[in-house]
Chain A
Amino acid sequence: MYPIVRKEVLNPQVTLLEVAAPLIAAKAEPGQFIIFRVKEGGERVPLTIADFDREKGTVTIIFQMVGKSTKELGQLGEGDSILDFVGPLGTASHLTGYKKAAVIGGGLGTAIAYPQAKRLHELGCEVHAISGFRNKDIIILEKELNAVADKVVIMTDDGSNGNKGFVTDALRSLIESGEEYDLVVAIGPLIMMKMVSERNRPYGIKPIVSMNPIMIDGTGMCGGCRVKVGGETKLACVDGPDFDGHLVDFDAAMKRQGMYKRQERDADCRLLGGNGHA
Chain B
Amino acid sequence: MPNISPNKVPMPEQAPDIRNKNFLEVTHGYDEAMAMEEAARCLNCKHKPCMTGCPVSVKIPEFIALVAAGDFEAAYHKIKETNALPAVCGRVCPQENQCEKHCVRGIKGEPVAIGRLERFVADWYMKNRTPELPAIQPNGHKVAIIGSGPASLTCAGDLAKLGYAVTIFEAFHTAGGVLMYGIPEFRLPKAIVQKEIDALREMGVDIQTNMVIGKVFSVDELLESGYDAVFIGTGAGLPSFMGIPGENLNGVYSANEFLTRINLMQAYRFPEVNTPVEVGSHVAVIGGGNVAMDAARCAKRLGAEHVSIVYRRSREEMPARAEEVEHAMQEGIEFQMLTAPTEMLGTEDGWVRGLACVKMELGEPDASGRRRPVAVPGSEFVLEAETVVVAIGQTPNPLIKNTTGGLETHSWGGIITEENGATSKPGVYAGGDAVSGAATVILAMGAGKTAAAAMDAYIQEKKE
Spell out A's residues near B (CB within 8 Å).
Answer: 23-24, 27, 37, 41-44, 68-69, 83-89, 216-224, 226, 228, 233, 238, 252, 255-256, 258-260, 263-264, 266-267, 270
Contacts and interface: CB of A to CB of B under 8 A. Distances in A.
A87 B215 contact: yes
Interface stretch (B50-58, B256-264, B336-344, B357-365): B256-264
A41 B271 CA distance: 10
A87 to B, nearest CB: 7
B66 interface: no
A217 B265 CA distance: 11
B276 A263 contact: yes
Nearest to B172: A217
A222 B260 contact: yes
A256 B173 contact: no
Interface stretch (B3-11, B234-242, B429-437): B234-242
Interface string B230-273: 00000001110100000110110110110011000110011111
A183 B254 CA distance: 35
Contact of A86 (B173, B251, B276, B278): B173
Contacts of A223: 239, 241, 253-254, 256-257
Interface of B: 171-173, 209-212, 215-217, 237-239, 241, 247-248, 250-251, 253-254, 256-257, 260-261, 265-266, 269-276, 278, 349-350, 397-399
Nearest to B347: A255
A88 B237 contact: no
A224 B257 contact: yes
Given A86-B171, A226-B248, A238-B399, A43 B256 contact: no
Given A216-B260, A260-B276, A44 B173 contact: yes
B265 A256 contact: no
A228 B248 contact: yes
B276 A220 contact: no
Contacts of A69: 274
B210 A85 contact: yes
Contacts of A24: 216
A89 B216 CA distance: 9
Nearest to B346: A255
Identify the 4 closest CB pairs spanning chains A and B, nearest first: A255-B350, A263-B276, A222-B257, A223-B254
B215 A27 contact: yes
A100 to B, nearest CB: 31
15 contacts: A88-B215, A88-B216, A217-B237, A219-B237, A219-B399, A222-B256, A226-B248, A233-B247, A252-B350, A255-B350, A259-B250, A259-B278, A260-B278, A267-B271, A270-B271
